[in-house]
């Protein structure tokens, strides 16, 4: 009899409805009886992460210390897979000029393959398939996403799976708000790290009534891509990919 596949889920996203995202991810994982999942709100238990078969993160502004950065790098480079969702690569500093993405935690961002810089106000945008032969997106059609459109810088080799387009300047509180170059903005990609690989999917913003405090006492409830069946299909494939059963 084979042993269960061990997943490790870190869910702790500032300014997001972490409870909602965690529940949806656990429901998807529960549909795969060969997987058992450990849940945490931090990267602190590096020993438990190292013993897991794959890692899933739904975080925002969750900053690992130096030892945790190295442990995450070692985890992937050893041959494991990491599914990083939405704000995992987003750190936010509140400055007098506005929101700024600090150029810190370089090893963490290099392991992920990208660093979030800013996003225009949430809006609908068209997502197209970059690599239609990859099993993660094979057979998917272009679709409309209602989500945050992430604008990032990239590190090392990234292999686009999904992309969109954005060019222009916007006002949404971010210091770096001018993006004049007409180039693909990656919505999903894979990034090799040693013998392992990261899958990054920028979709997945959600917000509950109290998640924007102290900026807003009560916020609009947002579910965004979580109500899109194509996104949910993509997440299911991502988890199977992480487990090595796709």
Sign of the dihedral through C-alpha 79, 85, 89, 92: negative
Outline where the chain has alpha helix (H).
18-30, 46-51, 66-77, 106-112, 229-243
* Burial of residue 133 (number of CB atoms within 10 Å: 0-12, 13-18, 19+): exposed
Is the pLDDT at 172 greater than 90? The verdict is: no
Q: Calculate ∠ Cα 92-94-174, nearest 5°.
A: 70
CA angle, 20 then 90 then 77, to 5°: 95
Res 52: pLDDT: 98
Q: Which residues contact 142 (CB under 8 A, 6 or more apart)?
A: 126, 127, 128, 129
CATH entry, 5-243, from 3.50.50.60, 3.40.50.880, 2.40.10.500, 3.30.420.40: 3.40.50.880
Give Dmax (Cα) for the chain: 59
Which pLDDT score is estimated for 221?
94
Average pLDDT over residues 99-126: 97
pLDDT tens track for 185-241: 999 999 999 999 999 999 999 999 999 898 889 999 999 999 999 999 999 999 999
For position 31, what pLDDT does the model report?
Answer: 97
The SS3 assignment for 219 reads coil
Residue 243 predicted with pLDDT over 70: yes
Question: What's the pLDDT at 72?
Answer: 99
With pLDDT > 70 as the criterion, what percentage of the chain qualifies? Answer: 100
Residue 43 has pLDDT above 80, yes or no: yes
- % of the chain with per-residue pLDDT over 90: 96
Other CB atoms within 10 Å distance of the CB of residue 32: 17
Overall size of the chain counted in residues: 246
The ranges assigned to domains in the chain are 5-243
Report field, pTM of the whole predicted structure over 0.95: yes
Phi, psi of 88 (to 5 degrees): -55, -35
Q: Is the pLDDT of residue 1 over 70?
A: no
Pairing mode of beta strands 5-13, 35-40: parallel
């Amino acid at each position: 009899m084979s042993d269960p596949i061990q997943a490790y889920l870190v869910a702790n996203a500032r300014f997001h409805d972490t409870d909602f995202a965690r529940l949806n991810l656990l429901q998807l994982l529960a549909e795969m009886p060969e997987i058992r999942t450990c849940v945490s709100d931090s990267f602190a238990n590096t020993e438990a992460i190292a013993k897991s078969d794959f890692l899933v993160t739904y975080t925002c502004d969750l900053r690992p210390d130096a030892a945790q950065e190295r442990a995450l790098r070692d985890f992937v480079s050893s041959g494991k897979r990491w599914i990083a969702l939405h704000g995992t690569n987003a750190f936010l500093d509140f400055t007098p000029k506005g929101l700024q993405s600090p150029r810190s935690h370089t090893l963490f961002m290099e392991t992920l393959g990208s660093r979030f810089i800013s996003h225009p106000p949430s809006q609908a945008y068209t997502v197209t398939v970059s690599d239609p032969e990859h099993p993660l997106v094979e057979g998917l059609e272009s679709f409309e996403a209602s989500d945050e459109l992430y604008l990032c810088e990239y590190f090392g080799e990234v292999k686009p799976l999904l992309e969109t387009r954005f060019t222009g300047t916007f006002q949404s509180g971010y210091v770096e708000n001018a993006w004049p170059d007409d180039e693909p903005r990656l919505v999903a990609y894979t990034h090799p790290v040693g013998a392992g690989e990261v899958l990054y999917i920028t979709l997945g913003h959600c917000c509950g009534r109290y998640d924007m405090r102290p900026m807003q006492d009560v916020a609009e409830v947002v579910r965004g891509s979580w109500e899109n069946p194509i996104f949910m299909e993509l997440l299911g494939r991502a988890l199977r990919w992480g487990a090595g059963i796709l």
